Amino acid sequence: MQFTRSKLLTMCLLASSLTLTACSKSENAQKDDTLTATAPATGQASNITERNAQQRLISTLEKNLKASNINVKILDIKTTEVPNLYWATLEGLPPVYVTNDGKYIIQGEVIRIGDKELHNVSEPLQAELNKKHFSSLKTEDLIVYPAKGKAKHVVYVFTDASCPYCHKLHEQMDDINAKGIEVRYIAWPRGDQFMPTMESIWCSADRKTAFDQAIAGVQLAPANCKNPVKQQYQLGQTIGVNGTPAIYNSNGVYLGGYLSASELASRLNN
């Protein structure tokens, strides 16, 4: 998918009204590079130099985005293994790659070749971010299916009661739990028309029963409580969910969409 100006503008509008604070590297590579004679030893000096470079990238990227009428808050920026390529975390939007001159944004995957297996450059960076998001979730805001016996693994699953593959995964819940896997459902309605049902499920006194009923086609009573469905949907948007089910382990690593109980256990154990 191309990261066009219109696409980014659309994403920014969906993310609502945001302000911009970015990490950008200035075109002037000479400016502010010099450390004082009192700077600490090599390791710390290197960190200071890197922070200076990132601060320049903040300024340049902020300037260029504003010039393109794009308003989005940049939460963080990190170096990648690719020379002169940074990874920027945006508020309410999936992260993107940014060139060190702050002129180019790249949406999509960057793959390292040369080894027996292909390596997605952003995978460890995205997983680290996902892990932080998942650890901040409250279990009372989720639908939790505990493991039978001692829990070996915990997975987070973005789900929608209208999704056929979510139904198929849900049918295997007993087998999944029997393999020592705890499943934590996060609401992710696939469209506005599915939002009311998911809110009704999350407002039910017994969410598990309500979820089962919704899957069976039962029309649930309208929601009448404060609920986290929209916030959970936004979380999925932020980390790049684009379909359900979307399964992640507790370390934030994306495992896949629909998986059988055996496939899920195999991926977690490996």
Dihedral sign for Cα 36, 38, 39, 42, please.
positive
Please report the pLDDT score of residue 1 as a whole number.
40
Residue whose C-alpha is closest to residue 75's, from 47, 52, 98: 98
CA distances from 66 to 20, 59, 100, 173 (A): 8, 11, 17, 48
| Domains (range + CATH), the chain | 5-122 (3.10.450.70), 140-269 (3.40.30.10)
pLDDT digits (tens, 9 = 90+) for 58-102: 788 888 988 999 888 888 889 999 999 999 988 888 899 999 999
Between 98 and 54, name the one with better pLDDT.
98
pLDDT for residue 42: 45
pLDDT at 255: 97
230-269 pLDDT, tens digit each: 999 999 999 999 999 999 999 999 999 999 999 999 999 9
Is 50 or 118 the better-scoring residue by pLDDT? 118
Of 33-42, 68-77, 129-138, the least confident: 33-42
Q: Whole-structure pTM over 0.85, yes or no?
A: no
Contact between 110 and 80 under an 8 Å Cβ cutoff? The reply is yes
What average pLDDT does the structure give for the chain? 84
- The pLDDT confidence band at residue 24, using thresholds 50, 70 and 90, is very low
CB 76 within 8 A of CB 98: no
Residues marked as catalytic: 160, 163, 166, 190
Q: What is the pLDDT of residue 136?
A: 96
- Give the whole-number percent of the chain exceeding pLDDT 90: 67
Percent of the chain whose pLDDT exceeds 70: 83
Q: How confident is the model at residue 128 (pLDDT cuts 50, 70, 90)?
A: very high
